[in-house]
Structure 1
């Protein structure tokens, strides 16, 4: 099977919902589904998080990050962390865990390097999206964080499958974008029960152009993607701005400017990024 046929084969499987996830990913997906239940409240969420030591540690860490600890009061219990963060932020942490678990199963060193770069890019985008949502577009910051974390999940799934198809990622990135990204991305996002608004925002990143100044969740994701200092090794959207060029963008936001907001929020971005990279 040549490269393009392999892309098409995996894409067809994803379109049918025939996705092959490792056991630990399936367990995390079940946790995500439980947190998505509107009847899942703080006490139940805390018990679910405590069952996973790694996730519990990350939950406490992000609750103590600059972005979520405005008072400067550190906490040490999962229950207190869940109360501070809320269930929706926990969904973002579980999504991050799912993405990292997909990358952890990769064996080929070249694919491992791509996965590591992709996660670094993802963490930057998620942290920037949360701040841009809060300070610029005024869309829900928790949704923006979640969208940033899962915006490349289809690419992570592809890398996790690539070990079984030697050489599939050795060609031009455009082959992945043209023959696999959309179908595989949609299939994985549906499996994760991603809300429609988030799905539409990720699809806008695949082929859309953002408005300036940014207005909605899709614009928030696109601007965060352009500003991320580490590019995705898998996706360069049409008309994308390089990080260096994106950081020269400046426009009025209320009484300030984008540049001012980015400088004022640098510690928030770095704190969130550091937690996601744990």
Structure 2
């Protein structure tokens, strides 16, 4: 029997207020996001809340961290460099990152932006989905972030990536690994409105239905909750987490990270999820655990 502790957090939205932003960089869709940040969002995504989450996560010393996107607000090269520095300073050595929609608001040269996160992600956009094996775990990173039209925060994965995802899930399933898929946008209908949704979630859902997975982790909704997708043998849990920097008195919206303990036996995976939430002016609160078992039965493919 082996045990792995996985930490899940998302959407830190690291403040860019102290960065010198080139005015020309805002002459596009970023202008709306920057206006939203200045008028409202910088009072919701608070550095002090993020610091509390990070300190608590580091004290827990997880074996691996999964960060499901939106480290930045505008996806500027300056922000991506700042985020790389933040990852280096604050996250444990085994940290896996995928991009969010804010990290790819407009088309930019990969090497100047998300390519700076290669130590925690992949070197090139065509390398998605990617796999990181940590003991009995296969952490599979999917990219749903795409430059979208004005007023849209939606995402897509595309047919080629969905087909590669199904193949990876088949292969890692045959190895008997606990397959945990990371995606920024919720792959379940109804969690966010259409303008923020995964537009081709049917492609993602089909890959899960055909090949199976033990757990899906997402961010984007700024809401902590549990849903599911059909799998080949049983429903696959889909776990979302609120923004790691959100200042809120509501438990489901408050800054949080999730401590996921995976215990592996010869025939199954026991998964225990404990959400640790941080609300203004009160101590951290850990909610009662969610428990489920996934059997190590290779699906008929």
> Larger relative CO (CA 8 A, sep 6+): 1 or 2?
1
TM-score by length of 1: 0.32
TM-score by length of 2: 0.30
Is the helix fraction higher in 1 or 2? 1
Is the strand fraction higher in 1 or 2? 2
